[in-house]
Amino acid sequence: MTTLVIVVLRSVAATCLVKNKATMLFINLPDLEAAINYWRTQSPSKGDALELCPEVSALAKPYAALILQGSKRLSIDLLDANAQLAWSAYMNHLNEAKNG
């Protein structure tokens, strides 16, 4: 049985619909910024050194790479395990908020 894959553009991020479940293939800069800001509100910086929470720290690395390279998006496959977890949790939050 073949799975039907439809690619849809949502802002600049590509989304892949597989069996009625949306999975992003790319993260654009504004979406990555939104994820970082979400995690900053969930777990603000702490201590005298203003230490970032693990999620912000993980997402800051690909964010910096996008800025330095002048890119507008990156493949989700390029995220390390911690960044993928932070991104997935953020997307789950958005889906829950959208679906009530």
Phi, psi of 76 (to 5 degrees): -60, -30
| Cα 81 to Cα 78: distance, rounded to the nearest angstrom | 9
Tell me if 52 sits within 8 A of 43, measured CB to CB.
no
Per-residue model confidence (pLDDT) at position 68 = 95
C-alpha count within 13 angstroms, C-beta hemisphere, residue 70: 0
Other C-beta atoms lying within 10 Å of the C-beta of residue 7: 9
Per-residue model confidence (pLDDT) at position 46 = 76
Per-residue model confidence (pLDDT) at position 21 = 46
pLDDT averaged per 10 residues in sequence order, the chain, 100 residues: 33 39 78 95 81 93 94 93 96 89
- Secondary structure tally for the chain: helices H, strands E: 3, 5
The pTM of the whole model exceeds 0.85: no
Tokens 């293939």 locate to 25
